[in-house]
Amino acid sequence: MDGRLVDSHCHMSADEFAQDLNDVIERAQQAGVKALIAVTEGASEFGRVIQLSKIYPRLVFPCFGIHPLQGSEQALHSVRTQDLETVLPLFQTYGDDIVAVGEIGLDFTPWYAPTVLERDEQLMVFKRQLEISKELELPVNVHSRSAAKVTIATMKEQGIRHALLHNFAGRPSVAMEGLQAGYYFSFPPAVSRNDQRTKLIKQIPLERICLETDSPALGPEKHVRNEPKNITISCEYIAKVKGIGTEIVAEVTTQNALCLFPKLKM
C-alpha cells in the first residue's frame, strides 16, 4: 500500500515488544507507517515511552496517560486516585515532549468496576487527566468500554474539543454525539474479524476516522500478538465497508491524524 500511514493508538512500551522492537518497527515502516502514537496505561511506562521517542525520533510520538484499569492482565482492577497522583509532576516535566494525554477514559466492565464507588473514582481520574490535557493544550486518546455515553458526555462537560475515541464500540446514536462534539474515532485490525462495527464505520464520515492497531492487542487473529504493520488491515477493511479505495482511506486518515495531533512531525 502506498502512502503515509499513522497508527494513532498503539502500545510500543508494552512488554510484548521488549525482545524484538527493532524488527517490529522495521516491519511497520515497510508497511508504510510513518508515525506511531504510543500511549501508556500506567506510571511504569512513562519513562520507557519517552526513551523510545528518543531512539526513534519522528516515528514514535509519546503520550502519557493512566488507563481506567490497572494491574496485570491476570489481576486487573479499577484505577485509584493514587495511581495518577504519583505521576502528576511528570505531565508538566514532559509536557513539551508528549503529543497527547492517553490512554485515559472509562471502563465500566461489570467484573472490573462493579460498584458505584469504583466508577466514581474512575471518573475523578478521567476528569483530572482531561484538565491536564487542557492545561497542556493537548488532545486526548480515549478508552471507553461499556461506558461510551458517559465518556462522551464527560468530555463535553469538561469542554474537550480534540479527542480520539479509540476502538469505539458504542451505539451509532452515541457516536453521533461524539461527532457533533468534533471528536475522531479509530478502529483496530480486530474489526475485520466480524461485521459488528460495519454500521458504525458506515455512519462515521471518513473525515473523522483515524487508523489504529492497539498493538499488541486487537489484531487480525485472536491470541496472536498484533503489530503496527497490521494497520493496513484496518485501512483495507474501512475501504471495503465504505466502498472506496485504500489510497483514499490512507490519505484522509493521515490528514485527520495530523489535524488531531498537531505535534506530529512526519
Q: Each residue of 197-229: pLDDT tens digit?
A: 899 999 999 999 999 999 999 989 999 999 999
- What's the pLDDT tens digit per position in 13-43? 999 999 999 999 999 999 999 999 999 999 9
Please compute the mean of the pLDDT values over residues 90-116 and round it to a whole number.
97
Which cell numbers hold the place of 27?
516491519
- Rounded to an integer, what distance in angstroms lies between the CA atom of residue 209 and that of residue 256? 7
Q: What percent of the chain has pLDDT over 90?
A: 93
Q: CA dihedral in degrees (121, 200, 9, 78; nearest 10)?
A: 20
Q: Report yes or no: 237 and 218 within 8 Å, Cβ to Cβ.
A: no
The confidence band for 195, taking pLDDT boundaries of 50, 70 and 90, is confident
- What's the pLDDT tens digit per position in 167-190? 999 999 999 999 999 999 999 999
Query: 119 vs 74, 83, 249, CA distance in Å?
Result: 20, 15, 37
Going by the annotation, the residues of the binding site are: 9, 11, 103, 143, 166, 214
Which cell numbers hold the place of 75?
489481576
- Rounded to an integer, what distance in angstroms lies between the CA atom of residue 258 and that of residue 182? 15
Residue 216 has what pLDDT?
98
- Residue written as cell 461510551? 148
Residue 194 has what pLDDT?
81
Going by the annotation, the residues of the binding site for a divalent metal cation are: 9, 11, 103, 143, 166, 214
Please compute the mean of the pLDDT values over residues 91-109 and round it to a whole number.
97
Which value, in Å, is the radius of gyration of the alpha carbons in the chain?
A: 17
Closest CA to 115 of 152, 150, 85, 78: 78
Residue 2 has what pLDDT?
54
Q: Which residues pair with 142 in a beta bridge?
A: 104, 165
Q: CA dihedral in degrees (84, 87, 93, 95; nearest 10)?
A: -30
Question: pLDDT at residue 196 above 90?
Answer: no
The whole-chain average pLDDT of the chain stands at 96
Closest CA to 242 of 231, 229, 253: 253
DSSP 115: S
Neighbouring CB atoms inside 10 A of 263's CB total 15
113: helix, coil or strand? coil
- What's the pLDDT tens digit per position in 48-84? 999 999 999 999 999 999 999 999 877 899 999 999 9
In 67-191 the beta strands, taken as DSSP E runs, fall at 69-70, 77-78, 100-107, 140-145, 163-166, 184-187
Residue 74 has what pLDDT?
79
Burial of residue 115, with CB atoms counted within 10 A of its CB: 0-12 exposed, 13-18 middle, 19 or more buried: exposed
In 39-188 the beta strands, taken as DSSP E runs, fall at 60-64, 69-70, 77-78, 100-107, 140-145, 163-166, 184-187
- Rounded to an integer, what distance in angstroms lies between the CA atom of residue 112 and that of residue 115? 9
Residue 219 has what pLDDT?
87
- What's the pLDDT tens digit per position in 119-175? 999 999 999 999 999 999 999 999 999 999 999 999 999 999 999 999 999 999 999
Q: Which amino acid is at 29?
A: Q
List, in order of start, the domains of the chain with CATH numbers.
Answer: 5-260 (3.20.20.140)
The confidence band for 1, taking pLDDT boundaries of 50, 70 and 90, is low
